[in-house]
Amino acid sequence: MFSSSTAKLGDGTAVFYTDSGPPPSSSDYTTLVIIHGTGFNGHGFEHIHDLAHERNLRTVAINRREYPGSTAYNDEELSFMKKNPQAHLESLAQFISLFLVAFIEEHSIPKAYENYTKGGLVALGWSTGCSMLVSMLSNASAVSPQSRTILEPYLSNIVLYDPSRIYGFTPLDRPTTAYTPWLDRDLKTTMEMGIAFKDWVSSYYDPPPPAWDGLIANLDHQRKRTPKSSTDSWTQADIQRFCNFEAVARTDTPLNGAIMSAMAGETHRALFDEKLVQTYFPRVKVTVISCRQSVWLCLWVTNRTQTLHDEFVRRGKKIRQTQFIDVEKANHFYHLDDPSGFLDTVVQSIK
């Protein structure tokens, strides 16, 4: 069982979320806040609520702005953010920090303790939802000092679950044969694009070859979908409940496009900028979860992140504590196909 609620943030924004509630008789549980990606809303995580308490977790899945129950962007906001990518990145940081603060204050959740390995708050982004958490770390100065003060005793970990947009790729990185629905000229309508995206991103692809060189050309990158997809069994009612293709067309596609060129710098500051890491949320650890049969975009992004991380470590830089977890035989919908395994991986990451 879980409850549904709407949080009212300090700036007037409404945020819909579902909540497993606290584990019975537990005073040291960890709260896991989940931020969905593009096109698929937070309802797709509701089935994990029933598995939370046995792991001493309280799970919370939000709907981002423009998604059901949460405040939509008005035309003026969209126009401004398209023209001012940095303002959009700062707004993402402010949005998630305000929600986390509101949840802490309303529900009096346990603080983090034992060197931030128990209790506390873990924020998990899935796919493009990771951009919001990267933005919170890289634009922490845009988060009010009051919010940072409230968050510090609680926020212990950030999990980047199969991230897709925390590094922008150049034409040199992406071969022309690499398929994405956004560049498919055969897709004429929002629904056609949405269904193609659903099938593409939820398929099981061949894993990277042994000793993969990091090149997209050497991944399973050309197929529009594969014979096995996590969403093939979805009915039309499921698609209507779990997907919001209109939000993709109106906000996600233009805004993600606007910030794409900036995301490499955002991720660099969030994870590898020594001064920033030691100044803002210095205790917060990051885990990057890579599902090895995911779409090529996610595999490339996680590999790029780990390659840069390893180079900074080799050079002795004092960067953010970051670990990388590879999940074999899992695709971009690990949480759907193996919810127990997914939560176990998250629990492993925060210990």
**What tens digit of pLDDT does each residue of 317-331 get?**
999 999 999 999 999
What is the rounded distance in angstroms from the CA atom of residue 229 to the CA atom of residue 60? Answer: 26
Query: Helix, strand or coil for residue 322?
Result: strand
- Predicted confidence at residue 260, as pLDDT, reads 84
Pairing of strands 118-119, 121-126: unpaired
Single-letter code of the amino acid located at 215: L
**What tens digit of pLDDT does each residue of 286-300 get?**
999 999 999 999 999
**What tens digit of pLDDT does each residue of 143-178 get?**
999 999 999 999 999 999 999 988 766 656 788 899
- Tracing tokens 């390995």 back to the chain, one arrives at 117
Instruction: Answer whether 16's CB lies under 8 Å from 42's CB.
Output: yes
CA-to-CA dists, residue 302 to 63, 199, 231, 282, 295, angstroms: 24, 21, 23, 22, 11
Single-letter code of the amino acid located at 225: R
CATH number of 3-350: 3.40.50.1820
- Predicted confidence at residue 258, as pLDDT, reads 87
User: Which residues neighbour 165 within 8 Å (Cβ) at sequence distance 6 or greater?
Assistant: 127, 128, 130, 131, 256, 260, 263, 301
Instruction: Answer whether 100's CB lies under 8 Å from 145's CB.
Output: no
The pTM for the full model equals 0.97
- Predicted confidence at residue 288, as pLDDT, reads 98
Q: Which residues pair with 15 in a beta bridge?
A: 7
- Predicted confidence at residue 18, as pLDDT, reads 99
Helix, strand, coil proportions of the chain in percent (round to 5)?
Answer: 45, 15, 40
With 90 as the cut, is the pLDDT of residue 1 above it? no
CA-to-CA dists, residue 28 to 118, 130, 174, angstroms: 7, 26, 46
Question: Of all residues in the chain, what percent carry a pLDDT higher than 90?
Answer: 91
Pairing of strands 322-327, 30-35: unpaired
- Predicted confidence at residue 172, as pLDDT, reads 61
Of 57, 173, 151, 39, which Cα lies nearest the Cα of 98? 151
Asked which of 101-110, 239-248, 251-260 is least confident by mean pLDDT, the reply is 251-260
Instruction: Answer whether 285's CB lies under 8 Å from 323's CB.
Output: yes
Burial class (CB in 10 A: 0-12, 13-18, 19+), 123: buried
Of 5, 135, 136, which Cα lies nearest the Cα of 58? 5
Mean pLDDT of 22-43: 98
- Predicted confidence at residue 239, as pLDDT, reads 97
Starting at the earlier edge strand, list the strands of the sheet with 3-8: 3-8, 14-19, 57-62, 30-35, 121-126, 155-161, 285-291, 322-327
- Predicted confidence at residue 171, as pLDDT, reads 55
Helix extents (H) in the chain:
75-83, 85-107, 130-138, 145-151, 190-201, 236-242, 245-247, 253-272, 274-279, 296-314, 334-337, 339-350
Burial class (CB in 10 A: 0-12, 13-18, 19+), 220: middle
Query: How many CA atoms within 13 Å lie on the side-chain side of 316?
Result: 0
